Chain A
Amino acid sequence: MLDLGPLPAPRLAPNATVQQALQFLVRGRRGAIVVVEGGDSPRPVGIFTERDVLYRISGGLFTSREHRHRIPLSEVMSQPPVTVRRSDPLVDAIGVMVREQYRHLVVVDRNRVLRGLLTTSDIVQFLTDQFPEETVNLPPRLRQRYTSREGA
């Protein structure tokens, strides 16, 4: 059983506010919040990601203090969440992410209890850990000044 590490999953209940969700997104540093029901055995019912914020921000949803503190997460989350199991082959999870353009997959056990959140960054981290000589010891030439125009 390959261990990709703990795969932390910031989580909130469906009745949490948009305000709380935004704070959790920032503090959680995982790019997504898993929306769960069920206390001790939390079961995912949705997911709220940075992409959801990007697609909803134009409605003024996040600028109005009133909205942020009143609208529940259940109204802005994506559902149902796409889930995978720890025992699934990593290559299949990557295939889903690439094909469906997801950056996050919710990890559950066979009782659909939340076990973690898999992100594209976790996968990159895993890969760079696998190939230390290939990917770590090479000093990229950092280019600081560049342009989109010809002949600059």
Chain B
Amino acid sequence: MDLAGLDVTAWGVDPDDPQLSRPLADLPLKQPIVLSPQASAGEAIERMRDGHEGCVFVEDDSEGIVGVFTERDVTVRIAARGRDPKRTLLEDVMTRQPTALQKDDPLSWALHRMGVDGHRHIPILDDRRLIGFLSIRTVLRALLEA
């Protein structure tokens, strides 16, 4: 991939660019799909397909958000193991306690977490409340339009 050498300013992303310090709340966050831990993976799959989203969040009445179940989990934890999604509970296949960021945190932190964790989605909070999530595509689009 040629990027005019290492000159990333060729496509408008400057290491000192305030773009990277934009608060996450400035970006178009996606509405989270939220299901209970006892919902089936099958229902989560349907919701992801209908909503064209790559993840669902799992919420328990008393504990709040307890996990996330993603498109990747469908392959790794359901399909590759030959499990029947309709008979598999989300609580058995979700990733617990997904790391979140706050709405005032900068875009650079989201990039960092995606790079470190290898995740494609990050939940965004307003203090303790989930207000949406950020996808890797949203981040790339934001940098592209910088």
Contact = CB atoms under 8 A, between A and B. Distances in A.
B89 interface: no
Interface in B93-146: 97, 99-102, 105-106, 108-109, 111-116, 118, 120, 123, 125, 128-130, 136-137, 139-141, 143-144
Interface string A53-93: 11101100011010010000000000000001011111101
Interface residues of B, number: 67
B27 interface: no
Interface of A: 1-2, 4, 22-23, 25-26, 31, 50-51, 53-55, 57-58, 62-63, 65, 68, 84, 86-91, 93-95, 97-98, 101, 103, 118, 120-121, 123-125, 127-128, 130-131, 133-136, 138, 140-150, 152
Interface of B: 1-6, 8, 10-11, 13, 15, 20-21, 32, 34, 42, 45-46, 48-49, 52, 57, 59, 63-65, 71-72, 74-76, 78-80, 82-85, 97, 99-102, 105-106, 108-109, 111-116, 118, 120, 123, 125, 128-130, 136-137, 139-141, 143-144
